[in-house]
Amino acid sequence: MSTHLFTPYTLTELQLPNRVVMAPMTRNRADDDGVPVPMMATYYAQRASGGLLITEATQVSPQGRGYVNTPGIYTDRHTAGWRPVTEAVHAAGGRIFLQLWHVGRISHTRFQPDGAAPLAPSAIRADTQVFTTDGFRPASKPRAVSVPEIADIVAQFRHGAAQAKAAGFDGVEIHAANGYLIDQFLRDATNRRTDAYGGSIANRIRFALEVTTAVVQEWGPGRVGIRLSPRGTFNDIQDSDPPALFGALAEALNTFPLAYVHLVEPQPGHPALTVQSGVDPVAPVVRRRYRGTLILNGGYTRETAEAALAENGADLIAFGVPYLANPDLPERLQRQASLNPPDQATFYGGDEKGYTDYPTLAEAPVSA
């Protein structure tokens, strides 16, 4: 069997030892103020053998929060909390990007300053739930942001990017996927604006490009990625023509010196990711139109990952749940060893159980 997955890759200035990427996964282990806690440094350092680690989504402002115990990157306390994480990963020989996040309408008034309505491109409530201290609750109805407020949010992404640099990260990833704020601006089902940020595809991608401009200006060439989910329906999201929309966005992203585009394109039968019916895969469209590094994510196995790389469908492959439960995932994949089963009850919130206690092959050898 070919071993493209375990060959080195040059990601601009970063030398990756393999093409295994740890996908961003919300784990809800930060403290009540969104400050990372010590066990988060252990968690990420345990997984440092991957080519690149991408952190869980990290809100860039108080308004950008939609779930309990998710981390932030907008105060000095947040930055200080993240610094031990980057130091631990680097000490273990790894490379790590922080994912910048604003949830938009996927929030609840209890998370918003002064109990205000969440922000969104248009005042359309999401048919979804958010994770609170009282369990899952329906998302609150949002209000449409004004044009001056859009400029403020772009500035929040810029500030978060600067804070991430101060925390010692190797780069950042802009979260423009999974039905959160940037994705809400992209899709015509959630963006009903009639100003310069709504209507045409050129207008609907404007906010994403403004955020990307600000973040790249903060970090410079080759240190910023962006995550997209063209066919995803998570968080009550869809669009009338995803290939046209994301093809145009991919073309526009060529104007930036990005590190990569990270595409969520679920493999057939993926149990956790649903796709918009009647829409063909968009990854081939993005691959044709975007000229830089492409990461694919969405239920890949060693076999399907190798096939995607061999066929030049992607340059890197991101793994989510398998990496959550297997801190030494690259070694397990390379040795074709059995994988630890994930404990779904501990995915969101809690302590070290189901977080830092999954055994490595060395700790609990399994038959290859």
| Nearest in space to 182 (alpha carbons), one of 235, 127, 257 | 235
Which position among 44, 67, 74, 180 bears the catalytic label? 180
CB 193 within 8 A of CB 206: no
d(CA 162, CA 182): 19
- Amino acid letter, residue 7: T
Q: Give the helix/strand (H/E) hosting 59.
A: strand 52-59
d(CA 175, CA 100): 6
SS3 206: helix
SS3 132: strand
Residue located via tokens 């139109």: 289
The answer to whether residue 180 is catalytic is yes
Strands 224-228 and 171-175 come out as parallel
- Amino acid letter, residue 74: Y
- Dihedral of the alpha carbons of 38, 40, 46, 48, in degrees to the nearest 10: -120
DSSP for 156-185 reads: HHHHHHHHHHHTT-SEEEEE--TTSHHHHH
Active-site amino acid positions: 180
